[in-house]
Structure 1
């Protein structure tokens, strides 16, 4: 069974020759089917960057803390909203 890799982490050589735009992408997650402007690593002329494969599980592990933080905030806001709505209805 083949493993489908949908995501990758942009990685630079982390030296003085790395282009500014590529340095900004370092350690960011991209999808193979949605290339960033200028293309994937190595596609731009002379690019020495490389892509580190990241399966869906690896992607989720990296973004989970920010997603869960947003979810907790959303749950708290909804709970407050529901409480206010119930209070108004009860009046």
Structure 2
């Protein structure tokens, strides 16, 4: 059971690169960790938190396990916590 974070490689708001923070155990574990990290509730998106590069090292210091994006998705899916975005018609 772990909270995982991938590298900040995803371009996003404010010209920053962003990571994804997930749990391979439960959403409760994820929300608790995100609160300790100081991530706002609006950063939660279905099954992960978007975390700016400025918080990456702090997340690791708090105990997040750094993994590749591929491993993050594999472990999230294996835990049954992956929630894909619904496709829009058209």
TM-score w.r.t. structure 2 length?
0.30
Pair member with larger Rg: 1
**Which structure features the higher share of helix residues?**
1
- RCO comparison, higher one (Cα < 8 Å, 6+): 2
TM-score w.r.t. structure 1 length?
0.30
**Which structure features the higher share of strand residues?**
2
